[in-house]
Amino acid sequence: MIWVDRIPRSEQGKVQREAVEAVLERHDWAHEGGRAQGARRHWSRPRQLQTRFEIEFAPPIAPATNRLGAWMALLGEDAPLGTRPSEGCEDADTARYWLQQVLRLARLFLQLVRVPVFDAFELIDCAPVDEHRRRWRAAFLCAGPEFVSATACMEVVGIAFRIAQLAQGADPGSPQDRERVFVAIGDELLQPHGKRMPAGKSTLEVLRAAYRLDIPFRPLGRGVYQLGWGSRARRIERSTTDGDSVFGMRWTHDKWMASELLRAAGLPAPVNRLVMTAEEARAAARSLGYPVVVKPVDRDRGEGVSVDVGDDEGVARAYTTARECSPGKRVLVERQAPGVCHRIFVAAGRLLYAVRRLPAGVYGNGRTSIGGLVDAECARRMGLPPWKRAPLCALDDSALEMLARQGLGPEDVPGAGRFVALRRIETTASGGVDEEVTHALHPENVRAAIAAARLFGLEVAGVDMISPDITAPWHANGAILNEVNFAPLLGGGEISRRYVEEYLFRLVDGRGRIPVEVFVGGAAAWEAAAARWRTLLQAGMAAVLSSDVRTLGGDGQPFGLAVDGLHARVRALTLRAEVGALVLVVQTLELLRTGIPLDRVDRVVVIDGDIRTAGSPARQAADAEVAGLIALCRAWDASGTAS
């Protein structure tokens, strides 16, 4: 328990949080003994894993907080809004609230450029600079430099201030105002910062789910992240994992090689021919029988693909289109299989989910014409931010041709629930509609998809099956495995996002966390930690014991590390698959300078205050320094029972 003469407050009467924390850090916890007193608050990310920023800003004279909140909802920001100040409130409340909204916007902007910052920015101070209270100075905390550099963070915060000022004078219900704000975000944020974005849309959604599930993660460079620590760690890049074969990756990027492998394994492969000239393409089409599909061997996303090709002249045109799209100038002519494409997502040897991939189109309501449905859908999509928009529908020549195939015209009124296609197939360029069929797949189709993923050596795969009826077995209706996809999009749509957490549960054991215990003190702390380490070894755990200068491995032998200091050693050990548990000994003040290396640990045991200064074994730390270190370590303890 701590007694103070008064509670530190600002001139507005607000409790000064930093001053209170300074009192806690100065308190001589080491001499209280026993367990930490009082109820422990809910754990949050330690400040040592965050960066402190200071800014000056000028809030609007009359900030339209309601309007800014509406813009935030439109843009997709989901951090808590906070309590809006009432009319006649103090300037400090209004300025603080305005700044909180700007910081919420900055957090969203970082995510838009695929920086995995999910903790809300923490505002820790906000006070006027001048007597007129027109300019204010504030301090806030953001994720540490491991995720975003201080320079990039402040650039994005500056963009958020400018967009917030623009949005304050714009009506989110006005199409013109919406587009003006959207264009400004594109010009200021997405274009300059988007060039630094890692490839692939799946990574951010996977990391967002990991954050919700309390799975620790860290970047390893070039878009690769490690989930978890030591023996429970996994590496991901987009939806791919460290369990995916490089052979499988190569095979999936060559449609001819992939179909040959599927055929060799007795799986339902496409019937196709590899051609090098237009004449070979025509001959292949005649041999296979019309209609055929013509596509490049080495392109994805439906690029260069022609379907329903029904004569020699059409084959020649389709061959030219496919060859121009193919980096290797290789083209496939394929017998057209009946039915619709279904994406079967396989993860860890089991079905994760499946969707029917319909082309771009609209659903009837029994009241509105097809033309009206298309106009309404286009208007809905234009109301969304550009980064959330699917390709726009349009009643162009291709759509009119597709309607005629279905015996329909723009003035017809389709019945409620009827799907009206506006394109022949789903592609990235034209978009499409997904319908979930996870629970409708015939078991034989699931088995074929899983077998294909295993054949390619892929832990995660998107297997595309073309089938007229996915509820029937593939061998009963001529279904084929059209493609096996490496790094299939995960979390790109509402259906897929529902399964990202299940994907992580399969991938990461125990939320990726290994046991970590910390002992604080001098020689006695090392002896106590070593005794605990030996107990873990006897229990069969691959435990590693480490101080800032010495590390012993799970075999009881010295564990060589080419890094200095406890912080660097812990960071290195969490990357090593042979580490099943960590017993750490804090014997210097190093962590006060470097920050703590993990988000939290399972247990902290304070043995004594025999702490030396880092790099100077001759000088003992001052009592205040030791107290600060002990307070830091106890805050690191997730159990709330630091002793």
The two three-digit tokens of residue 563, written as one number:
């890094």
Q: Does domain 271-334 have CATH number 3.30.1490.20?
A: yes
Residue with tokens 């500056």: 158
In the chain, the amino acid numbered 20 is: V
Token digits for 171? 């009506």
Helices marked H in 41-198: 65-75, 91-112, 150-168, 175-185, 191-194
User: Closest Cα to residue 458, out of 345, 355, 298, 354?
Assistant: 345
Using one digit for the tens of pLDDT, what is the confidence trace for 520-576? 999 999 999 999 999 999 999 999 999 999 999 999 899 999 999 999 999 999 999
pLDDT at 43: 39
Mean pLDDT of the chain: 86
Which tokens go with 625?
């320094």
Written as six digits, the tokens of 554 are 């799970």
Residues paired with residue 363 on neighbouring β-strands, in sequence order: 419
Specify the pLDDT at position 158. Answer: 94
pLDDT reading at 628 higher than 80: yes
Query: Between the ranges 68-82, 166-180, 570-584, where is the mean pLDDT highest?
Result: 570-584
Tell me, what's the pLDDT at 424?
85
Whole-number Cα distances in Å, 246 to 212, 236, 454: 30, 14, 13
Rounded to whole angstroms, how far apart are CA atoms 6 and 27? 15
What the block records as the tokens of 381 is 């999509």
Residue 631 reports pLDDT greater than 70: yes
- Is the N-terminal amide bond of 291 cis, ω within 30° of 0? yes
The rounded distance, in Å, linking the Cα atoms of 385 and 72 is: 11
Which whole-number Å values give the CA distances from 36 to 46, 356, 625, 638, 641, in the listed order? 18, 56, 19, 12, 6
Judge contact between 605 and 569, C-beta under 8 A. Answer: no
Helix (H, G, I), strand (E, B) or coil at 498: coil
For the stretch 593-625, pLDDT in tens is 888 899 999 999 999 988 887 665 556 778 888
Residues 38-97 pLDDT 10s: 333 333 455 556 788 999 988 887 666 667 778 888 888 765 555 444 444 455 678 888
How far is Cα 223 from Cα 218, in angstroms, rounded to an integer?
11
Q: Which two tokens stand for residue 247?
A: 């052979």
Distance CA 106, CA 189 (A): 10
Report the distance separating Cα 170 and Cα 586, nearest Å.
54
| Whole-number Å distance between alpha carbons of 378 and 394 | 8
Strand partners, 347: 350, 460
Long-range contacts made by residues 383-390, C-beta under 8 angstroms, separation at least 24? 383/175, 383/178, 385/74, 385/75, 385/76, 385/182, 385/185, 386/182, 386/186, 387/112, 387/190, 388/76, 390/360, 390/431
Element (H, E) at 143: strand 136-143
> Tell me: the pLDDT tens digits for 320-363?
999 999 898 999 999 999 999 999 999 999 999 999 999 899 99
- The residues with which 224 forms a beta bridge, in sequence order, are 221
When pLDDT is cut at 50, 70 and 90, the band that residue 28 belongs to is: very low
N-terminal to C-terminal alpha carbon distance within the chain: 15
Average pLDDT in the 357-374 region?
Answer: 93
- Return the bridge partners of 484, or none: 463
Please report, for the chain, how many H helices and E strands are present, in that order. 21, 25
Task: Determine the average pLDDT of the residues in 422-449.
Answer: 90
| Structure-token pair, residue 12 | 């507005």
Helical segments of 362-483, H only = 370-382, 397-405, 443-455, 474-477
| Tokens 């002992």, residue located | 519
Question: Model-level pTM?
Answer: 0.86
- Are 489 and 201 in contact by the 8 Å Cβ rule? The answer is yes
Domain limits, the chain: 33-194, 271-334, 514-636
- Close Cβ partners of 226 (under 8 Å, ≥ 6 residues apart): 217, 218, 220, 233, 234, 235, 575
* Sign, CA torsion 148/152/157/160: negative
What pLDDT sits at residue 148?
85
pLDDT of residue 29 exceeding 70: no
| Number of C-beta neighbours around residue 641 at 10 A | 14
